[in-house]
Structure 1
Amino acid sequence: MLLALLLSTAASATTVRVHYDVGYGNRITLRGSAAPLSWTVGQNATWTQGNVWTYSWPDSAGDVDLKPLINDTRWATGGNYRVRAGTTVNIFPFFGPSTGTRQQFDNFWSPQLGNTRTLRFYLPPSYSENPLKRYPVLYMHDGQNLFDAATASYGVEWRVDETLNHLIGTGQVDEVIVVGIDHAGAGRIYEYTPCCDSRYGGGGADLYERFLLESVKPFVDANLRTLTGKANTALMGSSLGGLVSFHIGRRRPDVFSKVAGLSSSFWWNNQAMTQAVEQSTVKLPLRFYLDAGTQNDGLAETTRMRDALAADGHVQGADLYYLVAQGAGHTESAWADRVHIPLTYLFPWQGTVY
């Protein structure tokens, strides 16, 4: 205990702050990869107001991998936390199973579009266990296809909830709230497209953007524990849902910092969106994920968009992730098979900005 106290007051100290209410009579301990921590016996963290448990050690220990425990017996769920020397890191652990929950809000009214739809929510595993925590948010289109085969357009769901449960439990991604926005049935093409394709028309994407920003996001932020800033707000969709994700993300980088499109319909209106990127001289502060399969899935158009983003300065593996899905077609099952890739890219473990 004396050693821990001395280390906690070191002039040049690395610090971890564990946000968790363990209840009366319990404690948080830490085990880790470098002295004064070890993986065999935990060191007691110090409780501070707000149920924040703090522990510090000299920077000379270097980078440390660690994990919190309750009473030095019950390990936190998920991956180890990497704490860089000289930093102060806030962590929000949970200790139960890595199983999120789902909710939905029916008949959500859109004054911008004059219709209603269902909003479907995935709440991450710690949502009810650790009320001190707030979460990044992923807004996804075609919400009826994400979680339940019974509501999916072709009877095939993306398994987003099961995929996130696995990725969170194995420490590959941060916990995230997913907001699935159902499409408007016959109005889907109109709502998901900028103006205007010679064959299909369209042109409602700007109104859909207003619906998302003026109605959906304020509702979500008012009713769920979200991290509201752009650093923790993302868009994802497939096909026309990928197209509208790119459209909104590029128009509103003040709201979103991450955009993912699976098999995006970049063919729309003679590839007008790609042409706009090619003509742009400004690199937007966005991270992009885009992919396409090799079976009639718009690979050539997606590759052209990748090239346009690269010409603007986006770098593969940094703020650009381009994937060719070998053998994949334009199907819900293909997107379900690879949705773990954009989820991991958009919300990597310890990537959340608190």
Structure 2
Amino acid sequence: MKRAFIMALLCFAVFAPAVQAQMVQTVDHFPSQYVDARRVDIWLPKEYEADKNQRFPVLYMQDGQNVLNDDTARDYISWNAGNTAMDLAAQKKIKPVIIVAVWSTEDRYLEYLPEKALEYLTDNELKEAMEVAKATGSSKQKFMGNDYLKFLVGELKVYVDKTYRTLSDAQNTAISGSSMGGLISMYAAFEYPEVFGSAACLSTHWPVLFDENNTNPFDAVSKYMELHMPPAQNHRFYFDQGTKGLDAISLPYQKQIDELMTGSGYHKDVNCVSKVFEGAEDTEKAWRQRFDEVLLFLFEK
């Protein structure tokens, strides 16, 4: 199973006819003092040009190459996020939203690990994490979750808010990702609760180190979450899992996270939703099929 997951990670960085290409603005090499430069795609709803006075909520999404465009996505199947958002807005089901698709790099695994949770891992587990990072193409020798969040919050969000007509407050700023991207999206909302008012974490890979027999990495993440829980009165979380493949391994851990959230003051199906999709796996095709659920939770009118 570990080998299967590593191979899946390697496939994430593969490169959609461009969906509504005229609505996407791209920064090919967004510079950062914290992490390597990477491509960022900013999808603008049609309402952006129609009403020059309107401001829009923003959704930041991990693994941006898989978000908007089939041509750049793993297995050439993207989340189709732009078209889904456009359709739901046209039906008046959600507010029109700006989508910021942040591409991942060869350092994906190191950047997406919740760094403060690693304090509770053993030396051998930290070594194993570095081995996974190396196997997935990274040459870095340090964990980068905190630096990645500094890039998102201190550089990218600043640029987006200055360049586009955004609603920049936490209530209108959400973050989302899948698998390891679900971990870092949770971490972003926990570390910067004043920035991200909501997060959607799909097929979150709670085992972290991909060893079904070692629960300590999950316990480390769970302990971090318990100690750093954002206030329930002004934060919202969406979680989901499938029941096949890697999702089958994560599903029992998700149930424990659900209990942790409700035990910390969150209300089931109100400001903390957790769904199970029978037969779904850890793939873009599966996430594409349920992305409307994510948007409805985050931006429903």
Q: Say yes or no: TM over 0.5.
A: yes
TM-score of the two chains, using structure 1 as the length reference: 0.67
The gaps in structure 2 that reach 5 residues or longer are 1-19, 134-142, 210-216
Q: What secondary structure is seen at the aligned counterpart in 2 of 1:274? A: helix
1:106 equivalent in alignment to 2:55: no
- The residue that corresponds to 1:42 in the other structure is none
Q: Deviations over 1:61-83 (max 9, x none)?
A: xxxxxxxxxxxxxxxxxxxxxxx
1:273 equivalent in alignment to 2:221: yes
| Amino acid in structure 1 at the alignment position of 2:111 | E
| Amino acid in structure 1 at the alignment position of 2:288 | A
Q: Shift of residue 280 of structure 1?
A: 6.1
Q: Shift of residue 145 of structure 1?
A: 0.4
Change (3 A) 1:255 1:311: same
1:314 equivalent in alignment to 2:266: yes
The gaps in structure 1 that reach 5 residues or longer are 1-97, 350-354
**Following the alignment from structure 1 to structure 2, what is the Cα–Cα distance between the partners of residues 336 and 209?**
25
Q: What secondary structure is seen at the aligned counterpart in 1 of 2:222? A: helix
Q: What secondary structure is seen at the aligned counterpart in 1 of 2:155? A: helix
Bigger share in helix: 2
1:177 equivalent in alignment to 2:98: yes
Which residue of the other structure, out of 110, 127, 130, is the alignment partner of 1:190?
110
Instruction: Check the 8 A contact 2:111/2:148 in 1, yes or no.
Output: yes
Q: Shift of residue 278 of structure 1?
A: 4.0
Instruction: Check the 8 A contact 2:190/2:229 in 1, yes or no.
Output: no
Which residue of the other structure, out of 38, 46, 49, is the alignment partner of 1:128?
49
- The residue that corresponds to 1:304 in the other structure is 256
State the aligned residue count: 250
**Following the alignment from structure 1 to structure 2, what is the Cα–Cα distance between the partners of residues 100 and 161?**
11
Instruction: Check the 8 A contact 2:189/2:230 in 1, yes or no.
Output: no
Q: Deviations over 1:228-281 (max 9, x none)?
A: 111100100001111000011011111111011000111126112223334568
Q: Which structure's relative contact order is higher, taking Cα pairs within 8 Å and 6+ residues apart?
A: 2
Which residue of the other structure, out of 235, 238, 244, is the alignment partner of 1:286?
235
Which residue of the other structure, out of 64, 79, 83, is the alignment partner of 1:158?
79
1:346 equivalent in alignment to 2:298: yes
Change (3 A) 1:228 1:327: same
Q: Shift of residue 122 of structure 1?
A: 1.1
Q: Shift of residue 171 of structure 1?
A: 1.2
**Following the alignment from structure 1 to structure 2, what is the Cα–Cα distance between the partners of residues 292 and 282?**
22
**Following the alignment from structure 2 to structure 1, what is the Cα–Cα distance between the partners of residues 69 and 229?**
42
Which residue of the other structure, out of 251, 254, 259, is the alignment partner of 2:191?
251
RMSD in angstroms over aligned alpha carbons?
A: 1.9
Change (3 A) 1:100 1:342: farther
- The residue that corresponds to 2:129 in the other structure is 200
Change (3 A) 1:241 1:129: same
Bigger share in strand: 1
Instruction: Check the 8 A contact 1:100/1:124 in 2, yes or no.
Output: no
Q: Deviations over 1:194-227 (max 9, x none)?
A: 2446222362110000000111001101110001
TM-score of the two chains, using structure 2 as the length reference: 0.79
Q: Shift of residue 148 of structure 1?
A: 0.8
Q: Shift of residue 129 of structure 1?
A: 1.0
Q: Shift of residue 293 of structure 1?
A: 0.3
Q: What secondary structure is seen at the aligned counterpart in 1 of 2:156? A: helix
| Amino acid in structure 1 at the alignment position of 2:237 | F
Change (3 A) 1:333 1:281: closer
**Following the alignment from structure 1 to structure 2, what is the Cα–Cα distance between the partners of residues 273 and 315?**
21
Which residue of the other structure, out of 59, 66, 69, is the alignment partner of 1:148?
69
Q: Shift of residue 166 of structure 1?
A: 1.1
Q: Deviations over 1:61-116 (max 9, x none)?
A: xxxxxxxxxxxxxxxxxxxxxxxxxxxxxxxxxxxxx9982221111111111x21
Instruction: Check the 8 A contact 2:190/2:225 in 1, yes or no.
Output: no
Change (3 A) 1:155 1:277: same
**Following the alignment from structure 2 to structure 1, what is the Cα–Cα distance between the partners of residues 154 and 183?**
20
Change (3 A) 1:335 1:110: same
**Following the alignment from structure 2 to structure 1, what is the Cα–Cα distance between the partners of residues 72 and 179?**
18
Instruction: Check the 8 A contact 2:198/2:235 in 1, yes or no.
Output: yes
Q: What secondary structure is seen at the aligned counterpart in 2 of 1:104? A: strand
Q: What secondary structure is seen at the aligned counterpart in 2 of 1:128? A: helix
Of all paired residues, the percent bearing the same amino acid is 31
